[in-house]
């Protein structure tokens, strides 16, 4: 039970999770303003503005650097992890989303005369634009800066 208490006392982890949660809530607000309807599903889906992945890993890396030291191996590990996550969000997953969009379009065009072909559409919003990743990263670092007095 003490392990759970230690996890809950981990300020770096808590601030990173708060940054992620704030990013997800901002997605909900942006969706509400943009489309004038409440779409709760954006709270649990990937993609969108800002990147909650980027907010989480940026805040985490900054927290590790502040707590353990900017020259530490732990910060280097957190920074490399953050770079990989953000590259994946803006690169690999963005490309997969574009491929899904094209495949959905092909299926629509090729099988529009065959309604018996009833496959679920592929999820198109998988990744982020580079701007969404930068915004998420800036949000994560900002949340870290606002909370760093707790470190």
- Structure confidence by residue, pLDDT tens digits, 72-128: 999 999 999 999 999 888 877 666 767 777 777 777 777 766 666 666 666 665 667
Residue 38, both tokens: 């409440």
pLDDT range class, residue 130, cuts 50, 70, 90:
confident
- DSSP conformation class of 150: G
* 85, HSE (Cβ side, Cα atoms, 13 Å): 23
- Predicted confidence at residue 39, as pLDDT, reads 83
pTM over 0.85: no
- Our measurement of the distance from residue 60's CA atom to the centroid of its chain's CA atoms, rounded to an integer in Å, reads 13
- Predicted confidence at residue 72, as pLDDT, reads 97
> Residue 112: helix, strand or coil by DSSP?
coil
Q: What is the pLDDT of residues 25-72, one digit of tens each?
A: 999 999 899 888 888 888 877 778 899 999 999 999 999 999 999 999
- Predicted confidence at residue 114, as pLDDT, reads 64
Helical pair 73-87 and 130-147, crossing angle rounded to 10 deg: 150
pLDDT range class, residue 13, cuts 50, 70, 90:
very high
Residue 45 and residue 126 in contact, taking contact as beta carbons nearer than 8 Å: no
Residue 58 and residue 142 in contact, taking contact as beta carbons nearer than 8 Å: no
Q: Dmax of the chain from CA atoms? A: 63
């Amino acid at each position: 039970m003490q392990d759970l208490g230690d996890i809950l006392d981990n300020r770096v982890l808590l601030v990173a999770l708060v940054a992620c949660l704030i990013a997800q809530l901002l997605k909900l607000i942006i969706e509400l303003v943009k489309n004038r309807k409440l779409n709760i599903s954006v709270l649990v889906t990937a993609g969108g503005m800002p990147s909650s992945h980027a907010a989480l890993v940026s805040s985490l890396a900054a927290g590790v650097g502040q707590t353990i030291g900017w020259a530490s191996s732990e910060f280097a590990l957190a920074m490399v992890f953050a770079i990989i996550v953000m590259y994946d969000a803006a690169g690999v997953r963005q490309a997969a989303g574009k491929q899904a969009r094209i495949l959905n379009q092909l299926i629509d065009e090729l099988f529009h005369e065959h309604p018996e072909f009833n496959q679920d559409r592929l999820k198109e919003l998988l990744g982020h634009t580079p701007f969404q990743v930068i915004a998420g990263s800036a949000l994560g670092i900002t949340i870290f800066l606002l909370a760093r007095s707790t470190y």
